[in-house]
Structure 1
């Protein structure tokens, strides 16, 4: 069972903000920082960067303060007897970097919504959202080699998938992050398990599949829209990833079924 006492996202404070609760709360406290902050950890005051998470168990001493022009975070205080919280391997009272802060922030927004509105399945939804949040935090906690540039890498990955038609090169991507080509290739593969150029290819093929299924563009038009300058190159990469040619993909029974299920389709009445 989960019972939320208080929850807030985008909480913001001035540069003199200090949160000092020597006896701790009666409940659990989970913070996600959006700015750098100083935490008391093992008797020492240590500065941590933005996009860290820290979990406090009930009755645990709490101390943190701003160390920049402002302090901002998402936070939740809650009671629970769920084992995914009470037996979590996350070390309480010690901040750690979050691999995907935007994803976790969105979960906080959803939790706030569910907490405010008295929906029929409110308790179940809150429990499921908190489980997802803890899963995402565990992914970060167990990922020992998180790069300080992960936020920048995540933004780069999102930009690649939002704009696959751009003429991406490793040099152009490295320049955006102001790092060397070799370093970008190493940390991108380490962070996402795929090279940055393979991600470019995947983003282009994903877009091509969407156009093939839901639009009436010609193959030649799709080649250009997906950022290819050579039709042969596009066909080769599409076949390698999907196992089909673009024409076969467009005509396959599964894709025809998907077209019929397209929610954007307008039927003539």
Structure 2
């Protein structure tokens, strides 16, 4: 079990911040820093950019702060028990080392959920926090072990990936090029160019594939009519849905459903 102590999400300090703990803390400290900052590492002042993560070991000196008038971070103090200590150490996350991550939104989302659970009171709170901490640490270690992806260093990657996740999660929405461009505050032409460059597919093709994937799921798992499935997947016209489905699968929706093995 991993126990979380003090924690905070999206904490903003609008005055110069300098945190000193000469003897550290009796627990581990994880910081997700979203603004320019400095860290004192073995007497050396290290300047860092937004998107920096640092994991402090127990009882080690801690000294960090802002280099401007704003400091924004997520922070979690946690302590694994004897069972989970090998898990933490086995991830080989280096201690007291500022680590630059091109995309930290997923880690920050885990931190947000951990903070929310910490401030609630229900029978399974500790178990949920434990699971979220495992997920956060696994995600952090995974990013560190993967070779650097140049795509993720693009300054527009976070907002473009957010758009992509929204498309994949809600393909039934009325996605147009103009709506997508407005979502990311870019011109339609540049947004389309950037989407293909980052994800290897056009934004409209992404919508079509996401809708058809959802349609195949409904055809496999329900007896809902083709007309209703078309509407659920964002098609205003059943005939357009049927034509598009056949174009990409070489079968009509009804033929696809009939080709499936019977369920038992």
With normalisation by structure 2, the TM-score equals 0.71
Kept in 2: contact 1:24–1:59 (CA 8 A)? yes
Work out which of the residue numbers 145, 163, 188 in structure 1 matches 2:199: 188
The answer for the alignment partner of 1:96 in structure 2 is: 100
Secondary structure class of the residue paired with 1:114: helix
The answer for the alignment partner of 2:207 in structure 1 is: 200
- Within 2, Cα distance between the matches of 1:53 and 1:68? 18
- Deviation of 1:228 after TM superposition, in Å, equals 9.9
Equivalent positions of 1:129-168 (< 5 A) are 129-143=132-146, 144-145=148-149, 146-149=152-155, 150-161=157-168, 162=170, 165-168=174-177
Q: Deviations over 1:157-216 (max 9, x none)?
A: 1243335643459x96984695793x6544335xxxxx3555333322134347765865
- Within 1, Cα distance between the matches of 2:166 and 2:135? 25
Kept in 2: contact 1:223–1:231 (CA 8 A)? no
Q: Deviations over 1:70-106 (max 9, x none)?
A: 22221111122422213322222222216351x3333
- Within 2, Cα distance between the matches of 1:199 and 1:32? 31
Secondary structure class of the residue paired with 2:103: coil
Question: Which consecutive unaligned segments of at least 5 residues does structure 1 have?
Answer: 190-194, 258-269
- Within 1, Cα distance between the matches of 2:21 and 2:237? 55
Kept in 2: contact 1:31–1:55 (CA 8 A)? yes
- Within 1, Cα distance between the matches of 2:120 and 2:195? 44
Residue range with higher mean Cα deviation, 25-34 or 91-100: 91-100
With normalisation by structure 1, the TM-score equals 0.70
The CA RMSD over aligned residues, in Å, is 3.9
- Deviation of 1:48 after TM superposition, in Å, equals 1.3
- Deviation of 1:155 after TM superposition, in Å, equals 1.6
Equivalent positions of 1:42-121 (< 5 A) are 43-49=44-50, 51-80=51-80, 81=82, 82=84, 83-92=86-95, 93-97=97-101, 99=103, 101=105, 103-121=106-124
The answer for the alignment partner of 1:11 in structure 2 is: 11
Aligned residue pairs total 244
Kept in 1: contact 2:5–2:78 (CA 8 A)? yes
Secondary structure class of the residue paired with 1:99: coil
The answer for the alignment partner of 1:267 in structure 2 is: none
Q: Deviations over 1:129-179 (max 9, x none)?
A: 11111111122212322324331232221243335643459x969846957
Work out which of the residue numbers 240, 245, 253 in structure 2 matches 1:246: 253
Kept in 2: contact 1:23–1:61 (CA 8 A)? yes
